């Protein structure tokens, strides 16, 4: 009598195979995620390098760096709540040098960002201004102080360095002692100034601390606060999504924003200058604060820190364990500090 061969698997065998596959996936998935993040971080680095080359090319053509943003408010003692526009920022001025000349030629730099054809132009996504680690690459909707009006503009992941004073106090390029300094002691005036601020006209010669020792731009992730390439839109709010626990979802409208012990993301919002500028000092290390109440700082989706563009065109990944004073020193162009501890 012939014995009939058994076909297929038993239930136990099937479960064993499934368990083995699950273990293999569990082992492989973190490795795949690490590879993806490494690739994204490298692409982010390359984008910042191209931005650095564009800034140098702009300087060669114009004998100065582009302004942090342009505004009719020219008072060195005035804060950004008095800005009137047009507001076009540093990233808009270097468009021809990142192969975006056609987009640049459509901008009327004498008119506001949301006026006429400028409204359409400012919604155009520029891939070089996006970090691949950030999942929110779509245009963002911004709301205005004391108004129900809003404006939609293209997202960016890179903002210029305003110095170590909070941008509200440093926007004019003439920061003075007062609120907004994060409670830190230090010399104000030129010693607190970064490369970019309202109507800035800095040159290579302005960076007396040395181009290789000066941060001129860095990352801003959408989970922290919004940033745009177009410019500083007068009276537009730059909310701090991380001011609440749990975090407020990016681009949440004021009417839907949850309120925490320190208010909502909009209660902690800054003015339009924070859309294109950031400050860094010893109290706000890269990607370190949680929760985070200041929208005008550097943050990223990369693990442990963020990418920064330096004045010589080099890009460095600064970790959250960087020496706090060194980080603050790197933010200024003429602070007189010399530091190599990074």
Cβ atoms of 333 and 310 within 8 Å: the answer is no
Question: pLDDT class for 142, splitting at 50, 70, 90?
Answer: very high
The pLDDT assigned to 125 comes to 97
Distance (Å, whole) CA 44 – CA 40: 6
Give residue-wise pLDDT tens across range 8-26.
Answer: 567 776 777 777 777 776 7
Q: Look at residue 29 in the predicted model and tell me its pLDDT.
A: 59
Our CA dihedral for 165, 166, 172, 178, rounded to 10 degrees, sits at -70
Q: Residues 188, 332: contact at Cβ < 8 Å?
A: no
- The pLDDT score that the predictor gives to residue 145 is 95
Q: What is the pTM of this model?
A: 0.89
**CA pair distance 62, 83, nearest whole angstrom:** 25
pLDDT at 264 over 70: yes
Condensed to tens digits (0 to 9), the pLDDT of residues 65-104 reads 999 999 999 999 999 999 999 999 999 999 999 999 999 9
Using 50, 70 and 90 to split pLDDT, how confident is the model at 177?
confident
Asked if 293 and 260 touch (Cβ cutoff 8 Å), the reply is no
For 25-75, write each residue's pLDDT tens digit.
Answer: 676 656 545 556 668 889 999 999 999 999 999 999 999 999 999 999 999
For the ranges 54-63, 182-191, 203-212, which has the lowest average pLDDT? Answer: 182-191
> Between residues 312 and 1, which one has the greater pLDDT?
312
pLDDT of residue 178: 65
Compare 37 and 301 and report the one with higher pLDDT: 301
Name the residue with tokens 């330096």: 310
Tokens in use for 140? 């963002």
The per-residue pLDDT for range 222-260, each reduced to its tens digit, is 999 999 999 999 999 999 999 999 999 999 999 999 999
Q: Look-up: residue for tokens 């950030």?
A: 134
Query: What pLDDT, on the 0 to 100 scale, is given for residue 22?
Result: 77
The larger pLDDT score, comparing residue 38 to residue 221, is at 221
Residue 3 has pLDDT above 60, yes or no: no
Q: Where is average pLDDT lowest: 116-130, 183-197, 282-296?
A: 183-197
| 309-336: burial string, b at 16+ Cβ within 10 Å, e else | bbbebebbbbbeebeeebbbbbbbbbbe
Query: What is the predicted pLDDT for the residue at 182?
Result: 83
pLDDT of residue 39: 80
Confidence band of 189 (pLDDT split at 50, 70, 90): confident
Q: What is the mean pLDDT of the chain?
A: 91
pLDDT for position 33: 56
86: enclosing H helix or E strand:
strand 86-89
Mean pLDDT, to the nearest integer, of 276-295?
Answer: 92
Query: What is the reported pLDDT for 7?
Result: 60
Residue with tokens 């309120």, as numbered in its chain: 259
**Structure token digits, residue 283:** 């109290």
Of all residues in the chain, what percent carry a pLDDT higher than 90? 77
Alpha helices in the chain (DSSP H): 11-62, 90-93, 101-105, 117-121, 167-170, 324-329
- Given this model, what pLDDT does residue 16 score? 74
């Amino acid at each position: 009598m012939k014995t009939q061969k058994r076909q297929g698997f038993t239930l136990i065998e099937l479960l064993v195979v499934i368990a083995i596959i699950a273990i293999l996936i569990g082992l492989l998935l973190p490795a795949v995620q690490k590879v993806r993040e490494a690739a994204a971080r490298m692409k982010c680095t390359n984008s910042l390098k191209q931005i650095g080359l564009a800034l140098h090319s702009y300087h060669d053509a114009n004998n100065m760096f582009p302004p942090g943003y342009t505004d009719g408010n020219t008072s060195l003692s005035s804060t950004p709540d008095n800005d009137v526009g047009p507001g076009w920022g540093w990233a808009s001025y270097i468009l021809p040098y990142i192969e975006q000349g056609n987009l640049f030629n459509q901008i009327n730099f004498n008119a506001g960002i949301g006026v006429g054809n400028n409204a359409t132009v400012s919604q155009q996504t520029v891939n070089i201004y996006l970090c691949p680690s950030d999942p929110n690459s779509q245009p963002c909707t911004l709301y205005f102080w004391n108004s129900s009006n809003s404006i939609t503009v293209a997202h960016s992941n890179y903002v210029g360095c305003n110095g170590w004073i909070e941008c509200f106090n440093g926007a004019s390029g003439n920061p003075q002692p007062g609120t907004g300094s994060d409670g830190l002691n230090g010399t104000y005036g030129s010693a607190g100034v970064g490369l970019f601020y309202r109507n800035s006209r800095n040159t290579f010669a302005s960076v007396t601390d040395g181009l290789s020792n000066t941060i001129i731009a860095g990352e801003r992730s959408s989970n922290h606060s919004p940033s745009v390439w177009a410019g500083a839109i007068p009276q537009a709010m730059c909310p701090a999504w991380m001011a609440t626990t749990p975090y407020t979802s990016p681009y949440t409208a004021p009417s839907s924003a949850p309120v925490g012990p320190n208010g909502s993301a909009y209660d902690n919002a800054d003015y339009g200058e924070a859309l294109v500028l950031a400050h860094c000092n010893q109290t706000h290390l890269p990607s370190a604060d949680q929760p985070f109440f200041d929208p005008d700082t550097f943050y990223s989706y990369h693990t442990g820190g963020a990418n920064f563009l330096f004045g010589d065109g080099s890009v460095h990944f600064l970790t959250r364990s960087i020496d706090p004073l060194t980080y603050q020193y790197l933010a200024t162009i003429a602070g007189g500090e010399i530091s190599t501890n990074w």
